[in-house]
């Protein structure tokens, strides 16, 4: 009974858990349009380094960015697990984001999310909106607005 009550009060959000390097990140599922396998990316000249280029997604040309380069990590190494996550937010145009691996989908209730103050100056934390505590470990929740605003 008490359990039921608490789930009612706590809003549940679904996150897709991705791996970037050794860390786990979560992206709110409502912003994800599609997840596609790695494909040929056409390089675009004279754009910032975090743009990998453009891909053909069902007849549309979509830019692809590297979240690793954006966070100041080592450049992407393509593997069979590499995926491109297509992100669609209302106020932004669709964009692809290269990630090392897509792990799973988790449900996080607001009680399991800690909105701690981050040192925004730190590159890796500049794009975090909170930390999710899940049985598989800690998940850094990506603040997509912050990621896309800086493009």
Partner 1 sequence: MDVSQYLDIFLDESKEHLQNLNTSVLNLEQDPENPDTISEIFRAAHTLKGMAGTMGYKRMQNLTHDMENVFSEVRDGKLKVNAGMIDVLFRCLDAIEEYVSVISETSDEGDNDNEPIIKELNDILAGKAASGEETKAAAEPAPAEAEAAAPAAAAPAVAWDLTEEEQKALEDAMMANKKLYSVTVTVQESCLLKAARAFLVFKAIEERGEIVAANPSTQDIEDEKFDLEFSLIIASEGELDPILKDIKAVSEIADARGGVFEGESAPEAEAASAPAEEKKEAPEPAKDPGTSVAKVKNEVVKKPEPEASGAKTEKKAGSKPAVNRTVRVDIEKLDSLMNLVSELIIAKNSLVSSATSDTTESSSNLHEQIEYLESVTTNLHESVMKVRMVPIESVVSKFPRMIRDISKQLNKPMELYMSGEETELDRTVVDEIGDPLMHMLRNSADHGLEMPEERIARGKPETGSIFLDAYQDGNNVVIEVRDDGNGIDVERVRQKAIERGVMTEEQAYAAEDSDIINLLFMPSFSTAKQVSDLSGRGVGLDVVKSKIEALSGEVDVKTKLGEGTTFTIRLPLTLAIIQALMVVVGGEKYAIALSGIQTIENISPKDVKTVESKEVINLRGTVIPILRLDEILGCKSQRDPDSDMIVVIAKKGDKLAGLVVDHLIGQQEIVIKSMGKYINKCKFISGATILGDGEVALIIDSNALI
**Total residues at the site for partner 1 (CB under 8 A)?**
23
**Closer CB to partner 1, residue 24 or residue 66?**
66
**Closer CB to partner 1, residue 16 or residue 65?**
65
Q: Using CA atoms, how far apart are residues 103 and 25, in angstroms rounded to an integer?
A: 10
CA atoms within 13 A on the CB side of 30: 5
> Does 40 engage in binding with partner 1 (CB under 8 A)?
yes
Can you list the positions of beta strands (E) in the chain? 12-20, 23-28, 32-37, 51-57, 60-66, 83-87, 95-99, 101-109, 113-114, 128-134, 137-142
The DSSP bridge pattern shows strands 60-66 and 23-28 to be: unpaired
> Does 7 engage in binding with partner 1 (CB under 8 A)?
no
Position of tokens 């103050």? Answer: 117
Q: Which of 17, 62, 144, 147 binds partner 1 (CB under 8 A)?
A: 62
Of 70-129, binders to partner 1 (CB under 8 A) are: 93-95
The interface mask with partner 1, positions 42-61, x = CB under 8 A, is: xxxxxxx--x-xxxx--xxx
**Closer CB to partner 1, residue 42 or residue 123?**
42
Q: Which residues bind partner 1 (CB under 8 A)?
A: 40, 42-48, 51, 53-56, 59-63, 65, 93-95, 151
């Amino acid at each position: 009974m008490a359990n039921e009550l608490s789930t009612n009060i706590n809003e549940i959000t679904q996150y897709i858990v991705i791996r970037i390097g050794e860390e786990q990140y979560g992206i709110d599922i409502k912003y994800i349009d599609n997840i596609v396998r790695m494909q040929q990316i056409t390089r675009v000249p004279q754009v910032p380094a975090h743009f990998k280029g453009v891909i053909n997604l069902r007849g549309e040309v979509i830019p692809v960015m590297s979240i690793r380069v954006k966070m100041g990590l080592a450049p992407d190494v393509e593997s069979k697990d590499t995926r491109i996550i297509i992100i669609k937010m209302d106020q932004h145009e669709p964009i692809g984001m290269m990630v090392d691996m897509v792990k799973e989908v988790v449900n996080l209730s607001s009680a399991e999310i800690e909105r701690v103050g981050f040192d925004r100056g730190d590159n890796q934390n500049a794009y975090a909106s909170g930390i999710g505590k899940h049985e598989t470990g800690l998940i850094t929740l990506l603040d997509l607005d912050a990621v896309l605003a800086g493009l």
